Every structure is written in C-alpha cells, then in structure tokens.
Structure 1
C-alpha cells in the first residue's frame, strides 16, 4: 500500500461549527474516521447502541481505504434494490 492511500481527506466543517470544534487544530485520522462512520450510519438511519460505539472506535483506528470500504458497504446496504 502506498502512502497516498493512507491519507484521510480533510472533512468539510460548516462555518458555524468551526469555533465549537476548534477547527484551527486538525482532527487526527482516527477522529476523522469516527466522524465519517457516524455520518454514514446516520445517513442510513442506523441507530447506534453502546456496543456499536465500541465497534466504531475500533474501525476508526484502521487505515482510510478500509474505513472507506466499510462506509461504502453501509451506503450500499441502505440503497433500495427494486
């Protein structure tokens, strides 16, 4: 795997949240992965229970391509196949 594949893209942050999130300091890759995973689950209307939080934390520690594959699975699973 090349280093380019490990780079987590920057997350867009709405202007009104920048101060609240201390946007002057970048998120770590793990933090960004957690945000991406929570957003994907929220978009798919998947409720997050306490055991799910532990899984999200563990998944977020993986490299970006792996996290993106999980997000793609979540997105595909919520897509109707009629």
Structure 2
C-alpha cells in the first residue's frame, strides 16, 4: 500500500510534462527530494541526480526520513 500523498501538477506545467493527473509516488518523491536539496542549497551533479532517482524509488517513510536529514543538515550550516 502506497501512502505517498498526491502532489498535483500545476495546470500551467501539465503540457510541458505531458502528464494529465497527479504524479506517481516515485515522481512525487523526486520532486520532494529536489525541493529539499534546492532549499538546502545542495549543488546537483550527475551522481547526485542518480542518487535522487534511486532514493525516489524507496517508500514514503524512508524518503521523508532522508528529507528530514537534508533539512536538519541545511539548518545547521553556519
């Protein structure tokens, strides 16, 4: 059972993404991870993008834990 809450796509972006409805769990996880990394000013290189893709395939509680770690690390920066 998937407990990932649906993340709707803004209507203005639907045509660009060729997507007519809510994101899949993996896609939603990718968006949440990218947002957390962006908010933490973490630069993205190809290995980091691959890590996000792999992490996004995990279950929602695990992704939320990783996002919590990113957020905590970002708020502890000097």
Q: Which TM class, normalised by the smaller chain length? A: 0.7 to 0.9
1:48 pairs with one of 40, 44, 48? 44
| Structure 1 residue 81: Cα displacement | 7.2
For residues 3-82 of structure 1, what are the structure 2 equivalents within 5 Å?
A: 3=1, 6-80=2-76
Task: List structure 1 runs of 4+ shifted beyond 6 angstroms.
Answer: none
Q: Which runs of 5+ in 1 are unaligned?
A: none
1:23-76 Cα deviation digits (max 9, x unpaired): 523322111111111111001110011011111111111000000100011011
C-alpha distance 49-81 of structure 1, shift in aligned 2 (>3 A): closer
- Length-normalised TM-score, structure 1: 0.79
Q: Is the 8 A contact 2:4 2:25 kept in 1?
A: yes
Superposition RMSD in Å: 2.0
How many residues in Structure 1 have an aligned counterpart in Structure 2?
A: 78
Identify unmatched segments of 5+ residues in structure 2.
Answer: none
Aligned equivalents of 1:23, 1:10: Cα separation in 2: 14
